[in-house]
Amino acid sequence: MTTLHQYRGRFAPSPTGPLHFGSLVTALASYLEAKSRNGQWLIRIEDLDPLREPAEATGQILNSLDAHGLFPSEPVHFQSRRSDAYHLAIENLLSRGHAYRCSCSRKELQANHGRHPQRCRDNTSTRDNPFAVRFALNNEQCQWHDQLLGPQHQVVRSEIDDPVILRKEGFFAYQLAVVVDDIEQGITDVVRGSDLLDMTAQQLQIYRALKSTPPRWLHIPVIVNDLGQKLSKQNHAPGLNNQVPVANLFAALNALNQQPPSSLRSETLENLLDWACAHWKRRAVHLTSR
Ligand code: GLU
pLDDT beyond 90 at 268 = yes
Q: What is the pLDDT of residue 191?
A: 98
The count of residues in the chain is: 290
Helix, strand, or coil (residue 210): coil
d(CA 188, CA 182): 8
| Ligand 1 binding residues, C-beta < 6 A | 12-14, 46, 178, 192, 196
pLDDT range class, residue 290, cuts 50, 70, 90 = very low
- Average pLDDT for the chain: 93
pLDDT beyond 60 at 174 = yes
Distance 119 CA to ligand 1 centre (A): 31
d(CA 249, CA 102): 45
Distance 192 CA to ligand 1 centre (A): 7
Q: Give the number of the atom of ligand 1 that is nearest the alpha carbon of residue 195.
A: 10
Q: Which residues are CB-contacts of 251 (< 8 A; sequence separation ≥ 6)?
A: 21
Give the chain's count of helices (H) and strands (E): 8, 10
- 189-219 pLDDT per residue, tens: 999 999 999 999 999 999 999 999 999 999 9
Full DSSP string of 231-288? PSTTTTPPBP-TT-HHHHHHHHHHHTT----GGGGGS-HHHHHHHHHHH--GGGS---
Burial (0-12, 13-18, 19+ Cβ within 10 Å), 95:
exposed
Distance 282 CA to ligand 1 centre (A): 20
Q: Give the number of the atom of ligand 1 that is nearest the alpha carbon of residue 182.
A: 9
- 2-60 pLDDT per residue, tens: 555 699 999 999 999 999 999 999 999 999 999 999 999 999 999 999 999 999 999 99
Q: What is the pLDDT of residue 4?
A: 55
Q: Give the number of the atom of ligand 1 that is nearest the alpha carbon of residue 26.
A: 8
pLDDT beyond 80 at 261 = yes
Q: Give the distance, in angstroms, between the CA of residue 49 and the centroid of all CA atoms in the same chain.
A: 14
What is the residue type of 122? D
Distance 264 CA to ligand 1 centre (A): 30
Higher model confidence: residue 27 or residue 238?
27
pLDDT range class, residue 226, cuts 50, 70, 90 = low
- 117-145 pLDDT per residue, tens: 888 988 777 677 789 999 999 999 999 99
pLDDT range class, residue 224, cuts 50, 70, 90 = confident
pLDDT beyond 90 at 73 = yes
Distance 13 CA to ligand 1 centre (A): 5
- Name the residue of 174, 181, 207 whose CB sits within 8 Å of the most ligand 1 atoms, as the mutation to test its pocket: 174
Q: Which residues are CB-contacts of 268 (< 8 A; sequence separation ≥ 6)?
A: 246
pLDDT range class, residue 289, cuts 50, 70, 90 = very low
pTM of the model: 0.93
Just give the CATH number of 8-284: 3.40.50.620
Distance 270 CA to ligand 1 centre (A): 27
Q: What is the pLDDT of residue 235?
A: 66
